[in-house]
Amino acid sequence: MLAGKPYEAPDEKLPGGLKDLDYDQYRSIRFLPERALWRGKNLPFEAQFFHRGFFYKNRVNIFEVADGKAAELKYRKADFSFGEKVPAFEDADLGFAGFRIHAPMNRPDYYDEVCVFLGASYFRAVAKGQTYGLSARGLSINTGEAKGEEFPLFKAFWLERPAPGATSMVIHALLDSKSCAASYRFTVRPGETTVFDVEMSVYPRVEMPRAGLAPMTSMFFYGPNDRNDIDDFRPTVHDSDGLAIFNGKGESLWRPLSNPRDLQISTFQDLNPRGFGLMQRERNFFAYQDIESSFEKRPSLWMEPIGDWGEGGVVLFEIPTKEEVHDNIAAFWRPKNPLQAKGEHNYTYRLHWGPDSPKPHSLARFTRSGIGARGEDARLFVLDLVGENLKGIDPAGVKGVVTAEKSELKNIVTQPNPYTSGWRLSFQCQVKGEPIELRALLAEGDKPLSEIWVYRWAP
C-alpha cells in the first residue's frame, strides 16, 4: 500500500529541450484533437492530454479502463503539435502532465471542454454556456502555516471508458504527498450544472492536524469597495464574489469577499455542515465590462457533504494581491480532530459547478454590499436584497437585525428598493484601527426573511 511506504518525490526528469520552457512556448504545444481518446467511437465523452513542461514538470500516468482491465495510455510525440519556438527533443516515454474531458454539452454535434485536471491536485469544470474560473483541489495540507504549505499531487489517473449513450463518466485518481496518500473516484455529469460525485479515502503517513477537505481556490482582485489604489477601466474583476455556507443549524450565511491589505483568515465553526461554496452571484456583463474575460460567465462551485462530517469549520483565506493572475481566495472544510496516522479516513461529497448553488430555502439573498465613509471614524453599509418572499410584504413589519463586535451601530434603516423590486438595509458603524465582525439580516417579527450577511471590516 502506497501510504505504508516512504514518500518518493515525483519524477520531473525531462529532455533538455523541455526543461526550461517559458509560458508562451508551453502554450504553443497542442494536443491534436483528432488523436483524442475515444474519438470516432460514437461515445459521449472524449479525452485529450497535456504535455509536460513549464510549471507542469512532474509525470502523471494515465490509464484507460475497459471491460474490467486497465491499460496505460502511452505518450506519443506525434499526438502533439509544437510551436516554432519549442526546442527539438528526442521522443521518449514521458507520460503526461494531465488531461481534459470533452462532451456534447452546448450542442449535440460538438464536444465541449467539460473539465480539466492539471497541476498538483487542481481540477476545474464548467457548466453549459460557461467559461473556466475557480478551481477545486484534491486536498490541502498546512494552508496558511508559517512553515509553508504542502502541495499533494495527483500522480495517476484511470479513465473508465463510457458506455454509448451514458450521461456520466468515472475518473479514478491516486494522490501522493509527504504527509499522506489518497484515492478518489469522480463521477462527472455535465449539464446545466456540472456535477462531480466524489468518493475520497485519505491514508495519512503522519498525524494531519491542518488538513483541508474539499478545498477550492478563486480570484478576487477588486469590487466597488476594493479599488482605492487600482487604475482600471473595469468596475469589477473577480471569479467569485462571496462565500456561501449552509450550516448544520440550518442557517444560510453570505460572506462577501474582499482583497484585503493584510491576510485575513476567517473560520466558521460548525457541526455536520450541509454545504459551502465560492459563488459568482454577479451575472451582469455591465458590472465587469470585460469582453475577453467574461467574468459574468464564470461558474460558482458548491460543495455538498454526503453524510455527517462531524465537528470542524469552514476556513476562508483572503490574501492580498496586486494582480488578477493570482488565486488569492481559498476555502475548505477543516475537521476539528486531526486525521490520525496509519488510519483510513473516508469522505463522500458532491461538487456543483454552475450558475448558482442548490437552493435549500426561499429566503431573500444579498446581492450588493456597498460601503462608504460617513464622517470621521464611521462607515455606512448599504446592503441590497432580492427574493420572491419580499414582494408584497408589509413594510411596517420588516426590520433589520444588525450586530457588530466591538463597535457602535446607528441609523439602522430598511426600505423597499423599487429599482430592484427588492429591499435595502443600511446602517452606520463606528470604526477604529481593528477589524470588526458584522452580522445582518432582514426579519419579520421573529421570522427571518433573508440569509445572514456576515462581514469582516478591516482597516
Name residue, grid cell 448558482. Answer: 356
Q: Cα(first)–Cα(last) distance of the chain, in Å?
A: 50
What average pLDDT does the segment 197-214 reach? Answer: 98
**What are the φ/ψ torsions at residue 69 (nearest 5 degrees)?**
-120, 145
CA distances from 379 to 2, 136, 166 (A): 55, 35, 55
Rounded CA-CA distance 302/349 in Å is 10
Question: Can you give the pTM of this predicted structure?
Answer: 0.96
Q: Which residue has the cell 504549505?
A: 149
- Taking alpha carbons only, the member of 194, 179, 63, 70 closest to residue 121 is 179
Q: Contact at 8 Å (CB) between 348 and 199?
A: yes
Angstrom distance (rounded) from CA 361 to CA 162? 36
Q: Residues of the chain with pLDDT > 70: what percent?
A: 100
| pLDDT exceeds 70 at position 290 | yes
Burial class (CB in 10 A: 0-12, 13-18, 19+), 200: buried
SS3 17: helix
Least confident of 200-209, 314-323, 368-377: 368-377
For residue 71, give the C-alpha cell.
491499460
What average pLDDT does this structure show over 108-135?
A: 97
Length of the chain: 459
Q: How many helices (H) and strands (E) does the chain have?
A: 1, 33
Predicted confidence (pLDDT) at residue 458 exceeds the cutoff of 90: no
* Dist CA 397 CA 145 (whole Å): 47
Coil/strand/helix, residue 445: coil
For the stretch 132-186, pLDDT in tens is 999 999 999 999 888 899 999 999 999 999 999 999 999 999 999 999 999 999 9
So what's the pLDDT on residue 360?
67
For residues 49-67, give the mean pLDDT. Answer: 96
Half-sphere exposure of 388 (CA within 13 A, CB side): 2
Residue 267: closest CA among 247, 297, 238: 247
State the pLDDT confidence band at 346, using cuts at 50, 70 and 90: very high
Here the cell at position 160 is 473508465
Residue pair 137/120 in contact by the 8 Å Cβ criterion: yes
The reported pLDDT for the residue numbered 49 is 98
Average pLDDT over residues 106-111: 92
Q: Residue 74: its pLDDT value, please? A: 96
Share of the chain above pLDDT 90, in %: 85
Cβ neighbours of 148 (radius 10 Å): 8
Which pLDDT band holds residue 374 (cuts at 50, 70, 90)?
confident
Selection from 175, 151, 170, 136 nearest residue 47 by Cα:
170
For 286, list phi and psi in degrees, rounded to 5. -70, -15
Dist. CA 273–CA 123, nearest whole Å: 23
Question: In the predicted model, is pLDDT for residue 415 greater than 80?
Answer: yes
What confidence tens digit (pLDDT) does each residue in 387-406 have?
999 988 999 999 999 999 88
Phi-psi region of 144 (alpha: psi -120 to 50; beta: other; left: phi over 0): left
Give me the chain's average pLDDT, please.
Answer: 95
SS3 label, residue 275: strand
CA distance 296 to 323: 19
DSSP 8-class letter at 14:
-
CB atoms within 10 A of CB 291: 7
Q: How far is residue 252's CA from residue 355's CA, in Å, rounded to a whole number? A: 18
CB atoms < 10 A from the CB of 104, how many?
Answer: 15
Which of 310, 298, 354, 366 is closest to 335 using CA atoms? Answer: 310
